[in-house]
Every structure is written in structure tokens, then in C-alpha cells.
Copies of this chain bind each other. A is one copy, B any other.
Amino acid sequence: MVSFDTIRSAADAQVDVGIRIYALAARLFPICRSITGGGVRETLRVLGQHIDITQHEVPTGTQVLDWTVPQEWNIRDAYIKNASGRKIVDFADHNLHVLGYSKAVHETMPLSELKSHVYTLPEQPDLIPYRTSYYSEQWGFCMAHNELAQLEDGEYEVFIDADKTDGHLTYGEYFHSGQSDRDVLLSAHICHPSLANDNCSGLALLACLAAALRSRKTRYNYRFLFAPGTIGALTWLASNEDNISRIDHGLIVSCVGDGGGPNYKRSRRGNAVIDQAMQYVLSSEGRRGIIQDFSPYGYDERQYCSPGFNLPVGLFQRSAFGTFPQYHTSADNLDFISPENLASSYGMIMEVIDILEMNWTPVNLFPKGEPQLGRRGLYSALGGDKAAGETAMGYLWVLNLADGSHSLLDIAQRSGMSFRDIARAAQLLRANGLLAEAVS
């Protein structure tokens, strides 16, 4: 148990943390990431300037659970030129322009044929969509529907200088060591190219949070994972089967820079401590967070909460993926996220960590009747005062429910009191020899 006093409120550190997260997200934004390749490595290099990331390289062809690590994809250049030789689409302008994992191509073809390789959003005609084709051999471009509509008939030169070669799948880990042998998993997907909210925001937030934890003695180990979606999570799970039982709590972090939500999707278990803690934080301080039950579509909670693992891992977001118009388009840019929103997301996650750190299950050592709080200086000397009982309510609730089956978070929820007040009461009762921690 870490002492109560060493756990400072996250609020102090939050003043300019939003600016730092935003600046880091802005540095990550231009990098062309995919599920493998140089973009992931460059992203880890930038993150590594803040925290000591361990970079893992898993060879193409490695079997990971039901999947196989694919070939590595790297892209150098891509464009479409019209008959006049003018680049009407240029990868250098925006990395969303190229279908992710496109194979190389260099051909000239009429507009009609070109169109079968071009993805647009007719209902959002000024935006470039984000499209990938990881496991099917294709090539393609993405562009604004209005620009496609203006193209005149004629021959177009398409050029994609990319290759898929045997190489590696890359992911990064940062490990903050705590006093126990129990882990908290914090994970953000690293595979999306220039999409600011999804998920430069999550990568930058976790990196800054990891940096902040360095100065803190914690009870839990904190395992930060920066890995490509799906195949990265599967690779990590396949490589860490022996450690998985140590994960007591986990959180997927994505889309944490916009002003929506906050949203929390429960773990498959539905009533894990992380679910309780997130629900507590998202309903305290006037927040009207949205809590949704687990569903098997989303980010890597899909993998962590598959029935064979069923880990207590939930998903924290501001706007929920797929529900905001900027989602998976070029409008998910640096204007869509803000330091203020990043700071408040950071604050909520830090509050959850505070709860995980301070939560424990007390056992009343004087369970028969109330122990005499007065002679221990824990109770107002003056009886009959209407307010006197109120001030002692924290002690009374903790003592009454300290039967080894209620955590402090349970007691806070049952009593309607704040977790902080309950935790403080429990600490003082313990210091006075009235409580012990339950053997789990």
C-alpha cells in the first residue's frame, strides 16, 4: 500500500499538461503510420524522447494466436497525374491519399478505370477518407469527392512507390514499476496515419502520463503499450500469455482530444473495478459521462476482452469512435483536438489511477459493536450535536462495511460519500489499528 499522502491530486500537474500533450500529438500527426513500417518506428522514436520505450520487432510470418504477422509495408511516394502532367493527388500533401497497405503501381489508365481505385465520401465531399487494405492485395487512392467529380475524362498516370517485404511488426512498451506484482495495462493504438484524435491524442496522452508517473511511488506496475490495432494487440497477447494473469485493470485510450463525451465502454466483465472506477469518475464533479456496456466492436478491447482472455479492460474516449463526422476523415486534424480537452481527459484518467492506487478492502479488527472512536480522538467529544454525526460518517461507513467483501470504492458508492473522504477515513482508522487489509 502506498501511503495516502504521497498520492497528490492530479490537478496540480494539470495546468499545462494539456499544452504538452497537444504539442506531442502535433509532432506525431504528420507521420505516415500503418500497422507496420517506418512510420511506427518514427512514432516510437518521438515518444521515446519523453519516456524510455522498449521497442519490440516481431518478424513477418510469426504466428500470433490465429493470425500471422504480415509483411512490412513502407511507402515513399505516390501521386496521380492528369494528362497535362499535373499532380492532382499527391501523397506528399496528405498521407490519407493512399489506401493503406497499397501495393506498388505505375500505370496510365483512363478516368473510368482509375475511378475503381479511388475512395471518396460523397456525403462529406470535401474530406479525404481513411481506408486500408491490410490483408488483400490492392492499390488505391482516397480523395475528396468534389475533386474527383471535377476530373475530366482522359488518361491519368498513377504512381505508388511502396513495397511489402518480409520485415517486422513493431510495437513499444513502457513499464513503470510499482511496489506490488500486479499490473495496470494502458494501451493506445499506433497504426493510424494523420488522424489527430484517432489516435495521436491517445499516444501523446499516455506518453505524458507515463512521464508523470515516473516521480510517483505506486502500488501497481503500469504497463504502457503503443501497438498497432488488432495485430499489435494480438502479438502482444501472444508474447505475454504468462503475464496476463497479473493484469488487474486495463484501459484502452483513444480519441481523447475532442470535446465530446466523456465516454466509457465497460469491460466484458461489466463490473470490474476499472468499470466501477471509471463510472465513479465520469459521474463525479458534475460530469455526465456516458457509460456503455461492452460490445465486441471497437479498439483493442476486442482482443483483451475475447472470451479466452476476458481481461478487465475498458475503453475511454471523449467522442465515441464512429459517431463524430470527422471520424476516419481528413477533418480529424489538429484543429479538432485541443489542449483543454486533452488536459481534462488526462485528469479523468489520473483520477481513475488515483482510485486504483488508493482502493483496498478493509477488515474491521473490532467488528463487534463500534470501537470507541472518542478515546482515539476520532470523534467529537460533544454528544447531542446534530452535526456531530455527519462528520464521523466516513468512519462509521468504513467500519460497518469493513467485512472483507467491500472495497473502499464499494463503500464510497454504497454510502454516497466521495471516494476521497472514504479513503481518508480508512487511512486514519488503519493508522489507529482499527482496520487491516483483507487478504485477497
Nearest B residue to A400, CB-CB: B296
State whether B385 touches A131 (Cβ < 8 A).
yes
Interface residues of A in 16-68 (CB under 8 A from B): 65-67
**CA–CA, A389 and B400, complex, Å:** 48
State whether A233 touches B382 (Cβ < 8 A).
no
**CA–CA, A327 and B389, complex, Å:** 14
State whether B367 touches A296 (Cβ < 8 A).
no
Partner of A303, one of B305, B370, B374, B397: B370
Partner of A307, one of B132, B133, B134, B367: B367
State whether B386 touches A322 (Cβ < 8 A).
yes
For the complex, is A306 an interface residue (Cβ under 8 Å from B)? yes
**CA–CA, A289 and B277, complex, Å:** 34
Nearest B residue to A129, CB-CB: B384
**CA–CA, A405 and B130, complex, Å:** 38
Nearest-CB distance from A158 to chain B (Å)? Answer: 18
**CA–CA, A396 and B299, complex, Å:** 13
Contacts of A268 in B (CB 8 A): 400
State whether A306 touches B136 (Cβ < 8 A).
no
For the complex, is A286 an interface residue (Cβ under 8 Å from B)? no
Nearest B residue to A244, CB-CB: B368
Nearest B residue to A397, CB-CB: B296
For the complex, is A83 an interface residue (Cβ under 8 Å from B)? no
State whether A400 touches B370 (Cβ < 8 A).
no
Contacts of A361 in B (CB 8 A): none
Q: How many monomers of this chain does the complex have?
A: 3
State whether A370 touches B297 (Cβ < 8 A).
no
Partner of A383, one of B133, B309, B415: B133
**CA–CA, A384 and B328, complex, Å:** 7
**CA–CA, A182 and B100, complex, Å:** 53
State whether B384 touches A100 (Cβ < 8 A).
yes
State whether B136 touches A305 (Cβ < 8 A).
no
State whether A399 touches B296 (Cβ < 8 A).
yes
Partner of A399, one of B306, B385, B402: B306
**CA–CA, A322 and B390, complex, Å:** 11
State whether A382 touches B132 (Cβ < 8 A).
yes
Nearest B residue to A308, CB-CB: B367
Nearest B residue to A68, CB-CB: B372
For the complex, is A206 an interface residue (Cβ under 8 Å from B)? no
Known: A297-B393, A327-B386, A383-B100. A136 touches B374 (CB 8 A): yes
For the complex, is A381 an interface residue (Cβ under 8 Å from B)? yes
Known: A309-B369, A369-B233, A369-B237. A389 touches B136 (CB 8 A): no
State whether B328 touches A396 (Cβ < 8 A).
no
Nearest B residue to A306, CB-CB: B369
For the complex, is A230 an interface residue (Cβ under 8 Å from B)? yes
State whether B403 touches A307 (Cβ < 8 A).
yes
**CA–CA, A382 and B401, complex, Å:** 53
27 A–B contacts from the bound complex (CB under 8 Å): A65-B369, A66-B369, A66-B370, A66-B372, A129-B384, A131-B383, A131-B385, A132-B384, A134-B383, A136-B374, A136-B381, A234-B369, A234-B370, A237-B368, A238-B369, A295-B415, A296-B396, A296-B399, A297-B392, A302-B400, A305-B400, A306-B364, A306-B400, A308-B364, A308-B368, A308-B369, A322-B389
Report the 8 A-B pairs with minimum CB-CB distance, sorted nearest first: A308-B367, A308-B368, A136-B381, A296-B400, A296-B396, A132-B383, A307-B403, A66-B371
Give 14 A-B pairs besides A66-B371, A132-B384, A136-B382 with Cβ atoms closer than 8 angstroms: A100-B383, A100-B384, A131-B383, A135-B374, A136-B381, A138-B381, A230-B370, A234-B369, A237-B368, A308-B367, A309-B369, A322-B386, A327-B386, A328-B384
